[in-house]
A = this chain, B = another copy of it.
Amino acid sequence: MTQISVPVVRNILQANERLAAANRKRLEDAGIYAVNLMSSPGAGKTSLLERTIEHLGGRIRMAVIEGDLQTSQDAERIQSKGVQAVQINTDGGCHLDGNMVQIAMDSLDLGHLDLLIIENVGNLVCPAEFNLGEHDKIVILSVTEGDDKPSKYPVMFQQSSVLLINKIDLLPYIDCDVEKIRRDASRLNARLEIFAVSCRTGEGLEAWFSWLEKNVQEHKK
């Protein structure tokens, strides 16, 4: 079989790193823990946010930055839960970057926050390459996407601290080997924490809530 490798040059990454470092310092100074939530379109980022707000919203002061190509549907879904939400429309751009998040943070009340969740554009490729200043990257993989995804999209899994395997309520109806996902993802990233969950039924989410709350407490001033 013919196999061709095409290297892709990315000069803009260095400039982004400087902006991400500045965002990180602002978050640290304010005692805010921040996560960058990434996945393919429709894997469940906004549903996870809704569940997380319902569960932790009462005792953790949180805000959300929503990244989308178009529309403010996701920010509206989040605001209806009573949480500060800023919508970034990338106008076709395939990922958030440090500059966009810096601008979005300007419109948040950072003095009264414990947790910032940044929901990236739905894309399992590009967002992994751009640090935003977050403390941890979180990747969601839906079981409906198939168990070959960690090996085919490795960067996302290498960069993340947590993998949420979502939609496990659909496992009886599809061909997906969750153990293969766990095995392949752990091989790419030995420190990856993996939680199998269903944002629809709530199954497995307690472990995620505990993980998140522990990190918020550790970063509080």
CB distance from A2 to the nearest CB of B (A): 4
- Contact segment of A22-30, A52-60, A124-132, A208-216: A124-132
CB distance from A174 to the nearest CB of B (A): 7
Binary flags per residue of A37-51, CB closer than 8 Å to B gives 1, else 0: 000111100000000
- Contact segment of A110-118, A141-149, A189-197: A141-149
Copy total for this chain = 2
Q: A136 within 8 Å of B by Cβ?
A: no
Q: A71 within 8 Å of B by Cβ?
A: yes
**Residues of B close to A85: CB separation below 8 A:** 1
Q: Which of B70, B93, B155 contacts A154 (CB 8 A)?
A: B70
Which residues of A approach B to under 8 Å, CB–CB?
A: 1-8, 40-43, 68-73, 75-76, 79, 85-94, 99-100, 103-104, 107, 121-126, 129, 142, 144-146, 148-149, 151-155, 167, 169-170, 173-174
